[in-house]
Structure 1
Amino acid sequence: EPVDTTLNDASSNETFAPNQPNQATGLSLEETIQLALASNPDLASASAQIAAADAVLCKARAEFYPKLGITEQYGVTNNPVMSFMYQLNQTRLNFAQDFNDPQTVDNFHTQLRFQHSIYTGERRQHALHAAAAGSNAASLSLVALQNQMTYQVAEAYYRLLQARDLAKVRQQAVQQVQQHLDIVTTRFENDTAVKSDVLTVEVRLAEEQESLISARNQLELAWAVLENVVGAPLSGQELPEAIPTAPWSQQVEELEYALSVASGQRAEIGAMTSQQQAASEQVLMAQAGKRLGIDFVADYDVYTGDFQTGNDSFFAGVIFHLNLFDGGRTRIDMAQAAAKVTELRAQQRRLMLDIELDVRRSYLQLKDAEERLKVASQAIEQASESLREIEVRYRGQSANITQMVDAQVALSNARVRQATAQAEVEVARAALQRSSGRLTDLL
């Protein structure tokens, strides 16, 4: 059964997008990226991680402040010792009573306590520095994620345009083969062509119809991929007629310059450096466990049995504490923290190597895509001219049907290569800017 070869609007550039309104310009790449920045759940998760890291930083700062708290306790007893202490604190001690058989005594104890760590062996300072480095690492990780996400949106956007253009190419091929079939059928009816010519073109038409069905499905999938990356539905959006250039398309530099930019711009490098700083501070924090600590404590207490009579008192003191033996816990903490620093340094070396390879690969892919686009554009002109010539010759019965089908196949393949290459160039440009760490800066 013949396949419907018409798109929803043959002159429209958004042929397969559902529920599309009539828009003059269509969905731009910049609009898509801004929508992703606001809707992508991965960015929301990274923002929450920054909030968590900032909370850790605030907690580390709070360690420099004193603590002030109040407690209220109530007790009732006829225990000789406890009864004696309750009455003594309330200044109600009666020496005429039988201390071995006291009466039941109520006691309300209100205590206001002030605590402050005067010296912690610089543990607090190192904890603060580690938290600040961790917060900075979380912020830079978000920047790195934005750079990567922008590339993913750009890639999905241009893959969608690529799929749209491929669907158009396949539709044009079906229409062209259908025209050839009409010509061959007319000649067959006039006894100027054989049945095998008709069958050959019909087979070719079936192949092109199959390719059109596949292209339509790929276009639907491309819409779904873009919506997934953006994190929001795009129903009702139209696409621009031609493949637009990205804001960074004019920012292509030589390889060595791109490498130098990447070493200073990639947020992953800064995030890894901050993680190393945090780990180094963790080592110093562990070392602080060997040092003397000094705390100041002050209490104000009120004791009463009926809230009418009672007594108040205060206490103030300084506490010195030093870890003499802990079974090697402090030493183990230091070794663990030092191992983490070594691990992160090795990871940073690997990161630098990966970034350099990423830049080189992206640069070469861009050059390859640009060259293929030039060749594909030239091939279309040649294939179009060849097909026109063979069609004229076929009508004049100086070319056979096989030559015409071969020419049509060549033109169709050239159009596919051009549609593919146009999108590949823009994707490669985005990849180069992503590898340099500047993708979001160029928007």
Structure 2
Amino acid sequence: MRINKIILIMVLSAALLFPKMYSLTLKECVEIAKQNNKELQKAREEVGKYKQEYNNVRGNLFPQISISGGYNYKNTRLPDSAIPPSMSLADEIYIDDDFVDVPSNNDTLLIANDQIIADFLDGSMNSLIPDQKQIEYSLFAQVKLDQVIFMGGKLINGINIAGKLYHLQEKKYFLVEQEIIYQTINMYYQTKLAERIWKIQQETLNFAKEYLEQVSNMFDQGLVSEYDLLRAKLEVQKIEPELMESKKNYELITESFKNFLNMKNEELALTDEIVLPLMDEINLENAIQEGLENRMEIELSEINVAVNKVTLRYEKGNFLPIIGLSAEYNYFGQDEEQIESDDYGNYFQIGVGFSMPLFTGLSNTAKRTKALHTLKQAQLDHQDLLENIDLDVRNSYLQWKTDLEKVTTQTENVSLAEKGLQIAQARYENQVSNQLELIDAQLQLKIAKLNYMNALYSVSISYEKLKKAMGREL
């Protein structure tokens, strides 16, 4: 049991000390970036936000129905000072001393009538005197409906604007996604380029060390001078800092790429090498035409112009009347002791409202004029965009063609530099040339390899940039 615990601790420690290694192709990195990149996630949330805003505005087309209700219990006890004494007019009308003789029948009738009137007044007045303790129960319920009938086109135009903005965000999400894919490809190749440069420096250092060992043996045999030995040692010492610098650059860009993929705690092994990609045959005229037809920015600009046109119509609606319908039904009940079935009442009402601005200090006119200026500005921006896309495609195309020529040139340079190094080695070993010639040949080969790798990277990225400029999906 103790052994099992020790093994478990060792496994967990190893997992913490040695992060999991992921071998990833370029395509896999693109998919990971699309899933993990925060900018793309925010763009996705932005689309959802505008979708709900569209639903919110569209909801104003439908009747707005609400229900309310309540039950109330009220218990009140008044202070003694708030309760006036009861009235008794009947006791004050006639007394026996008011009559000298025995009252006649007519007097008795008058007394009876006055007594009835006094009792009625006493009852009426005393009923107005509140009880010291009061209990009251009440209940009510209400259903209310509001419906816009006409808003001068503002409601329909508002829904139209919200729908276009939602569509606009969907297109923007596609643009952000394409930009993330392009950045992923760029950073992937940058990482591979930095790795390749580091390896070229390592190969150069290994060659310099082998050459130093060879020169040392020749020096021991008296075939070369001490100067040649010192130059060989100096070459090794010169390459070592360059190797350290290239390794540091590779580690930094690898960390940056891991952060971009949101995999900063993992180890990455990028398996796809930088090679000359398979590329379509493209001419400049077709590229420009394709860019003007397919670029998503053009569609976004057209949507923006359409939104501003609808906004202008929306502002014109401020001069038109607003008509609305309102209806409500109320059901209520109230009693002192207990609400019975016959204690309930109800009422309902239906109304149509109308309002129209007559004078607003010219604010509505200013809003309409501002919307007109904004529309003209959007139309000018659209024209600028078409011109910029034309220029963008031209620049991307010319850069791609230039990088293609560089690849051809650098491929030949690497072949020539390798052949030159072989000749320089043979000449030096046969003592028909000096060490400077060999070192220069070695340096030329390293430069040729570095330039070749940079050319491969440049043509790969410039081709992706050209596709992006033409509006093709990456």
TM range (shorter): 0.7 to 0.9
Distance 1:319 1:99 in 2: 44
Instruction: Kindly indicate whether the alpha-carbon contact (under 8 Å) linking 1:263 and 1:269 is maintained by their aligned counterparts in 2.
Output: yes
Residue 233 of structure 1: how far off its partner (Å): 4.3
Structure 1 residues 300 and 197: alpha-carbon distance in aligned structure 2, compared to 1, 3 A threshold? same
Deviations 1:283-309, CA, capped at 9 Å, x for gaps: 211111111111111111123324431
Q: Which residue of 2 aligns with 1:268?
A: 297
What's the secondary structure of 2:273's corresponding residue?
Answer: coil
Q: Which residue of 1 aligns with 2:34?
A: 37
What's the secondary structure of 1:117's corresponding residue?
Answer: strand
What's the secondary structure of 1:305's corresponding residue?
Answer: strand
Matches of residues 322-337 of structure 1 in structure 2 within 5 Å? 322-337=356-371
Residue 379 of structure 1: how far off its partner (Å): 0.9
Selected match of 2:49 from 52, 57, 77:
52
Consecutive unaligned residues of structure 1, counting only runs of 5 or more, are 1-17, 79-94
**Aligned pair 1:225/2:248, yes or no?**
no
% identical equivalent positions: 20
**Aligned pair 1:290/2:336, yes or no?**
no
Matches of residues 347-426 of structure 1 in structure 2 within 5 Å? 347-426=381-460
What's the secondary structure of 1:251's corresponding residue?
Answer: coil
Instruction: Kindly indicate whether the alpha-carbon contact (under 8 Å) linking 2:420 and 2:441 is maintained by their aligned counterparts in 1.
Output: yes
Q: Which moved more, 1:229-238 or 1:139-148?
A: 229-238
What's the secondary structure of 2:345's corresponding residue?
Answer: strand
Q: Which residue of 2 aligns with 1:197?
A: 228
Selected match of 2:373 from 339, 349, 373:
339
Q: Which residue of 2 aligns with 1:5?
A: none
Q: What is the CA RMSD across the aligned residues, in angstroms?
A: 2.6
* Corresponding pairs, count: 402
Instruction: Kindly indicate whether the alpha-carbon contact (under 8 Å) linking 1:137 and 1:272 is maintained by their aligned counterparts in 2.
Output: no
Selected match of 1:161 from 169, 192, 215:
192
Instruction: Kindly indicate whether the alpha-carbon contact (under 8 Å) linking 2:330 and 2:348 is maintained by their aligned counterparts in 1.
Output: yes
What's the secondary structure of 1:238's corresponding residue?
Answer: strand
Matches of residues 242-261 of structure 1 in structure 2 within 5 Å? 242-244=273-275, 249-261=278-290
Distance 1:71 1:52 in 2: 30
Q: Which residue of 1 aligns with 2:84?
A: none
Residue 245 of structure 1: how far off its partner (Å): 5.6
Query: Which entry has the higher C-alpha Rg, 1 or 2?
Result: 2
Q: Which residue of 1 aligns with 2:105?
A: none
The structure whose RCO (Cα within 8 Å, separation 6+) is larger is 1
Distance 1:203 1:156 in 2: 35
Structure 1 residues 97 and 256: alpha-carbon distance in aligned structure 2, compared to 1, 3 A threshold? farther
Deviations 1:19-60, CA, capped at 9 Å, x for gaps: 675x9xx52221111111111111111111111111121112
Distance 2:159 2:432 in 1: 87
Distance 1:373 1:139 in 2: 39
Instruction: Kindly indicate whether the alpha-carbon contact (under 8 Å) linking 2:276 and 2:456 is maintained by their aligned counterparts in 1.
Output: no
What's the secondary structure of 1:289's corresponding residue?
Answer: helix
Distance 2:211 2:35 in 1: 50
Distance 1:97 1:277 in 2: 75
Residue 199 of structure 1: how far off its partner (Å): 2.1
Distance 1:97 1:302 in 2: 32
Q: Which residue of 2 aligns with 1:146?
A: 177
Instruction: Kindly indicate whether the alpha-carbon contact (under 8 Å) linking 2:328 and 2:348 is maintained by their aligned counterparts in 1.
Output: yes
What's the secondary structure of 1:131's corresponding residue?
Answer: helix
**TM-score w.r.t. length of structure 1:** 0.84
Instruction: Kindly indicate whether the alpha-carbon contact (under 8 Å) linking 1:152 and 1:229 is maintained by their aligned counterparts in 2.
Output: no
**Aligned pair 1:63/2:60, yes or no?**
yes
Instruction: Kindly indicate whether the alpha-carbon contact (under 8 Å) linking 2:53 and 2:162 is maintained by their aligned counterparts in 1.
Output: yes
Instruction: Kindly indicate whether the alpha-carbon contact (under 8 Å) linking 2:276 and 2:460 is maintained by their aligned counterparts in 1.
Output: yes
Structure 1 residues 279 and 198: alpha-carbon distance in aligned structure 2, compared to 1, 3 A threshold? same
What's the secondary structure of 2:357's corresponding residue?
Answer: coil
**Aligned pair 1:438/2:468, yes or no?**
no
**Aligned pair 1:136/2:167, yes or no?**
yes
Instruction: Kindly indicate whether the alpha-carbon contact (under 8 Å) linking 2:291 and 2:469 is maintained by their aligned counterparts in 1.
Output: yes
Q: Which moved more, 1:236-245 or 1:421-430?
A: 236-245
Instruction: Kindly indicate whether the alpha-carbon contact (under 8 Å) linking 1:430 and 1:439 is maintained by their aligned counterparts in 2.
Output: no
What's the secondary structure of 2:354's corresponding residue?
Answer: strand
Distance 1:340 1:426 in 2: 41
Instruction: Kindly indicate whether the alpha-carbon contact (under 8 Å) linking 1:252 and 1:429 is maintained by their aligned counterparts in 2.
Output: no
Distance 2:398 2:160 in 1: 42
Deviations 1:115-170, CA, capped at 9 Å, x for gaps: 11111111111011111110110011011111111111111111111112111111
Instruction: Kindly indicate whether the alpha-carbon contact (under 8 Å) linking 2:275 and 2:456 is maintained by their aligned counterparts in 1.
Output: no
Distance 1:137 1:389 in 2: 64
Matches of residues 66-77 of structure 1 in structure 2 within 5 Å? 66-72=63-69
Consecutive unaligned residues of structure 2, counting only runs of 5 or more, are 1-17, 77-122
